Structure 1
Amino acid sequence: MAADTTGATDVPGGPKARSIATDGARNRLLYLAMTRGERFWRGVERVPAARLRLNAALIDRMINEAPPRPEPLSMLAPYTSWASLTDRTYSGRHLPPHAPREGALPSVARAAELFARERDDDLCPRSTVLFAYFAQWFTDGFLRGESTEPRDPRRSTSNHHIDLNTLYGLTPAATAQLRSFEGGRLKSRLLDGAEFPPALCSGGEIKKEFSELGAVRFERLDRERRDALFALGSDRGNGQLGFTMMTVLFLREHNRVAALLADRYPRWDDERLFQTARNIVTLVVIKLVLEDYINHITPYHFRFLLDPRLTARLRRAAWNRENWASFEFNLVYRWHSLIPSTLTAGGADLPLARTLFACDLLPSVGLGQLFEEASEQRAGRIGLFNTDPLLQPVDAASIADARAVGLAPYNAYREHFGFPPVSGFAQISGDPKVAGALRERYASAGDVELYVGLFAEQPASPRAILPPLLTKIIAIDAFSQALTNPLLAPRVATAATFTPEGMAIIGGTRTLSQVLHRNVPEDPRPRFVSQTRRGAP
């Protein structure tokens, strides 16, 4: 039996809701201020100068909740060296290695039991499946561990930027194989009048023209599955339905933008058309990250925006350094509980396994319908006891990796990111079932490991979709990840880089719905496309 330091409230039948008082006065005051007075915040947004200043001030405050980069340590070694400060093939790390007390942790298998889905209707109050699809797609470009065996959890194959390598490839050689070298376009083909990537394989083997590309678990696929794969920039691009949908959508957007540029600038060669279109599409995605994705995540009434003047205001901020993705940031994005066990596609409810390596669904169902169906289906609730059995081994691997690299416990990260440490299990969750399950496995609340604590912690309100620590880590790294992109540097983010037409495309794009509706000429009907469900609080 674990030591109990929680007091009278940490017992079965105790409070169902976790009090935000646990998070300290500063965090509590900010949360209350930002989640009250919707009419006031809407009024502020109608005054451009005030909105810009408040936007910059809030982002700066959020990112400064953690010490600024560069981190003294990386996964290379437990001490600082020139290599640890420069070798970006190793993930960064926020805190030094930590050795747990003997007997304080359960086995990996016992800890992973906490994630097993117990019912199929444990759903998120606000998010749609499209939110899960977009989150996975854009983060997979810069949160990339090794995928080949033997795998070293310390290592990264990432470029550490939002650079759309999911679409364009990780290396120049891969990019070259994806390009048509005509009109700045990427290679594509028409299937039933709609644009899709070319086939990766022929006769079950990867075509020579795509020798730099690949697909995870390729050796496990039969010939029919292999021949249905698309030639995509990421080796993970064919693996999950949502990932493939996003890549196909932005392939279409790239080719649409390239055609507009070619029409406007007929003397430009293929290289300039391609590079300019790539810049425009990459910045469109960064804008969607801030204005569609982050605004969905935060429970605040104030809506953040990306404005070229914003980066000029923040260029001297202490955190404004070149990004280096951390191991912890990779870990917080294991949102397997978002994915329902049954996904709707083509009007049918399909088991999750049927949506893996399911490229055949895109031409047969249509991109527009798949995006609408993902928007009409609620995502799972992020938290414990809600991971489909097919994905649960990834939770076990995440716990094992975190222990292998010596991550500090959950409490240490609470302190690092500006929260007081918890002293009892009920301070992590007011749900007696969660608190009890933690008590059965950990010697004390202080021994709870980061990966478990992140998802055991309760959101602060019904409007919040993420727990407080998870929200703060995401906000810090997502804002700093996006705003330190070189395309947003004040001397770069101009019409000279993007063209006046490109600036108009970027400035006029705020939602995934807009991108979808301008890229389905084969099916132009209006559709509901949103990361936030209809009627959400």
Structure 2
Amino acid sequence: MSRSRARSIATDGAVNRLRFLALTHGRPLWRLAETATPVRRRLNATLIDQAVREMPPRPEPLSTLAPYTSWTSLTDRTYSGRHLPPHDDQETGRPSVDKAAGLFLREGPMDPCPRSTVLFAYFAQWFTDGFLRGESREPRDPRRSTSNHEIDLNPLYGLDAAATAAVRAHEGGLLKSQQINGGEFPPYLCENGEIKPEFRALSAVRMEMLPPERRDTLFALGGDRGNVQVGFTMMTVLFLREHNRVARILAGHNPGWDDERLFQTARNIVIVQVIRIVVEEYINHITPYHFRFLLDPKLGTALRNSPWHRQNWASVEFNLVYRWHSLIPGALSVGERELPLAGTLFGGALIPGPGLGRLFEDASEQRAGRIGLFNTDPSLREVEFSSIADGRTLGLAPYNDYREHCRFPRVRRFDQVSGDPRVHESLADLYRDVDDLELYVGLFAEEPGSPKAVLPPLLTKIIAIDAFSQALTNPLLAPRVANAATFTRPGLEIIAGTRTLSDVLHRNIPEDPAPRFVSMTWRGAAR
């Protein structure tokens, strides 16, 4: 047994390590198992159920409302859930927030991720922003959440009924749109720098930062953050096109349906399409496993009695573990240009020229950064600072406590967090003891379980637990709901034919129908 393998078993625990080795070795056996549908379905349900059971199930006894349980803390979802009670001492044995944030910054060239493309980063931001939503207004309270706690595509459809009504065409089940250079886009939000009357129910984060002429390039999107970065806008435009495509198909098959039924049925279909992409492309990209998870139509029946099958409630820890700022390169490929990150903010006007297909391919051809310390672009220092400060304000328990909560052994030395001398020596310089290491820093200081892994072990486990338990409890996947009465037969066929972002894109680029390479996984990545 090699020294690194021994260290991994000692650090991760025998059960965790053996499970990881089993899932990342024996590829021919896993592929054989996938050829037998009953075997694959049983493996799929069992592996998902086991993954989620690695933490105690919801409801959480506590939320960010108070350090004790009350009826309000169990029901008021304007506060975030929390996995562990608050930890009183947030300063002793720890560096200043500024010094801790310095651990994240890259000083030279970006260290690339072994598997991920920028498209993965774009999708992660767009997808998670729908349910991991803190307050945007100042002064900001990190305890509070503006989330619906569901995968409901509110970046497209809006957080509430008023926003949804504003983006609907109220004809044929469609969303409002306009044609630009042969492609379908949302209408513009503003005219002469002011929000149009029809869109008063909508808002755009940080719009006040822009001069009037820039405000007139913003799109009218259901979500308030949809214009903030070009990748986010690209995703919303794509699924607006898909919604309208689906609505037109439904109208052709159901000539007697009114606008309301067409819209609601198309919305149901598109939400489940995204959930399927999350499970079958996004999660399978993250995990280095040979078994490929799937959104099995019978999964709801297989898992409905699992103890974790409860109402969704996003936790503050889930919010923090998704801050993958190190994925973002210092410059992004957008059309024929390499733009600094700041040049892609409020960048909807960058899309129509090169076209949606070209931009998705650009993002797929560009490698993302490795998730971890010393790899965040300096322009994002403030968001790392804010993440650490939020963790301390909320009194999050130390990294070691969360390891124990997720059934990992506690680490006793900094070199068990990471074998990289730069990482563990820097941690030892700043923290008095490994038990003082805070969750946010510890999550990103850990080294991955293998050279092919995108995420380190604790981060992977928290993501898997919350992602599966929040996605698979969606009401549209319930056994009595997931049927032709809800989706129609053509709708079920559309869902069955959607496994990747590439599937959706290539149905929706009439202005540029050429085949495009669209993938979250880098072409040169080894599996």
Classify the TM-score, shorter chain.
over 0.9
Partner of 1:93: 82
Partner of 1:32: 21
**Counterparts of 1:521 and 1:172, CA distance in 2:** 31
DSSP 3-state at the match of 2:62: coil
**Counterparts of 2:486 and 2:108, CA distance in 1:** 51
CA contact (8 A) 2:413 2:434 kept: yes
Partner of 1:473: 462
Give yes or no for the alignment of 1:353 onto 2:353.
Answer: no
**Counterparts of 1:17 and 1:170, CA distance in 2:** 49
Partner of 1:343: 332
What is the one-letter code of the residue matched to 2:267? R
DSSP 3-state at the match of 2:332: strand
CA contact (8 A) 1:124 1:465 kept: yes
CA contact (8 A) 1:21 1:28 kept: no
1:454-479 deviations in Å (ceiling 9; x for gaps):
00000011110100000000000000
Give yes or no for the alignment of 1:19 onto 2:8.
Answer: yes
DSSP 3-state at the match of 1:349: strand
DSSP 3-state at the match of 1:180: coil
Partner of 1:526: 515
Q: For 1:373, which of 362, 365, 369 is the aligned residue?
A: 362
Superposed displacement of residue 21, structure 1 = 3.5
**Counterparts of 2:124 and 2:118, CA distance in 1:** 10
Q: For 1:315, which of 278, 298, 304 is the aligned residue?
A: 304
Superposed displacement of residue 120, structure 1 = 2.5
1:294-338 deviations in Å (ceiling 9; x for gaps):
000001000000011011000000000011000000000000000
**Counterparts of 1:189 and 1:354, CA distance in 2:** 25
Comparing 63-72 and 94-103, the one that deviates more = 94-103
1:245-283 deviations in Å (ceiling 9; x for gaps):
000000000000000000110100000000000000000
Superposed displacement of residue 117, structure 1 = 1.5
Partner of 2:353: 364
**Counterparts of 1:125 and 1:535, CA distance in 2:** 9
What is the one-letter code of the residue matched to 2:492? M
Q: For 1:509, which of 492, 495, 498 is the aligned residue?
A: 498
Partner of 2:185: 196
Give yes or no for the alignment of 1:437 onto 2:426.
Answer: yes
**Counterparts of 2:474 and 2:493, CA distance in 1:** 20
Q: For 2:256, which of 267, 270, 277 is the aligned residue?
A: 267
Give yes or no for the alignment of 1:55 onto 2:44.
Answer: yes
What is the one-letter code of the residue matched to 1:133? Y
Partner of 1:65: 54
**Counterparts of 1:501 and 1:122, CA distance in 2:** 45
Partner of 1:127: 116
Partner of 1:462: 451
Q: For 2:373, which of 375, 384, 404 is the aligned residue?
A: 384
1:223-250 deviations in Å (ceiling 9; x for gaps):
1210100001111100011100000000
DSSP 3-state at the match of 1:308: coil
CA contact (8 A) 1:123 1:380 kept: yes
**Counterparts of 2:510 and 2:5, CA distance in 1:** 49
**Counterparts of 2:259 and 2:109, CA distance in 1:** 50
1:173-215 deviations in Å (ceiling 9; x for gaps):
0000000001000000000111000000000111111111111
CA contact (8 A) 1:100 1:447 kept: no
**Counterparts of 2:440 and 2:511, CA distance in 1:** 44
Q: How does 1:84-483 map to 2 (within 5 A)?
A: 84-100=73-89, 103-483=92-472
**Counterparts of 1:468 and 1:352, CA distance in 2:** 29
**Counterparts of 1:186 and 1:170, CA distance in 2:** 15
Calculate the TM-score normalised by the size of structure 1: 0.96
Q: How many equivalent residue pairs? A: 524
**Counterparts of 1:478 and 1:102, CA distance in 2:** 31
From the superposition, tell whether residues 16 and 256 of structure 1 become closer, same or farther in structure 2 (CA, over 3 Å).
Answer: same
1:92-139 deviations in Å (ceiling 9; x for gaps):
000000022753111100100001112223100100000000011011
What is the alpha-carbon root mean square deviation over aligned residues?
1.2
DSSP 3-state at the match of 2:179: strand
What is the one-letter code of the residue matched to 1:175? T
**Counterparts of 1:120 and 1:527, CA distance in 2:** 28
CA contact (8 A) 2:81 2:316 kept: yes
**Counterparts of 1:198 and 1:388, CA distance in 2:** 33
1:128-153 deviations in Å (ceiling 9; x for gaps):
00000001101100000000011110
Partner of 1:6: none
DSSP 3-state at the match of 1:471: helix
**Counterparts of 1:517 and 1:212, CA distance in 2:** 32
Superposed displacement of residue 16, structure 1 = 12
Calculate the TM-score normalised by the size of structure 2: 0.98
What is the one-letter code of the residue matched to 1:165? N
CA contact (8 A) 1:17 1:431 kept: no
CA contact (8 A) 1:169 1:232 kept: yes
Gaps of 5+ in 2: none
Q: For 2:482, which of 489, 493, 503 is the aligned residue?
A: 493
**Counterparts of 1:17 and 1:218, CA distance in 2:** 53
1:499-535 deviations in Å (ceiling 9; x for gaps):
0011011111111100000000111111100000102
Comparing 324-333 and 214-223, the one that deviates more = 214-223
What is the one-letter code of the residue matched to 1:246? M
CA contact (8 A) 1:15 1:431 kept: no
Superposed displacement of residue 18, structure 1 = 6.6
What is the one-letter code of the residue matched to 1:38? R
Identity between Structure 1 and Structure 2 (%): 70
**Counterparts of 1:456 and 1:285, CA distance in 2:** 31
| Structure 1 stretches of at least 4 aligned residues deviating more than 2 Å after TM superposition | 14-21, 100-103
CA contact (8 A) 1:18 1:429 kept: no
Superposed displacement of residue 348, structure 1 = 1.5
Comparing 328-337 and 116-125, the one that deviates more = 116-125
DSSP 3-state at the match of 1:344: strand
Partner of 1:43: 32
Q: For 1:79, which of 68, 91, 110 is the aligned residue?
A: 68
**Counterparts of 1:390 and 1:293, CA distance in 2:** 27
What is the one-letter code of the residue matched to 2:131? F
What is the one-letter code of the residue matched to 2:75? T
Gaps of 5+ in 1: 1-13
CA contact (8 A) 1:190 1:196 kept: yes
**Counterparts of 2:460 and 2:367, CA distance in 1:** 20
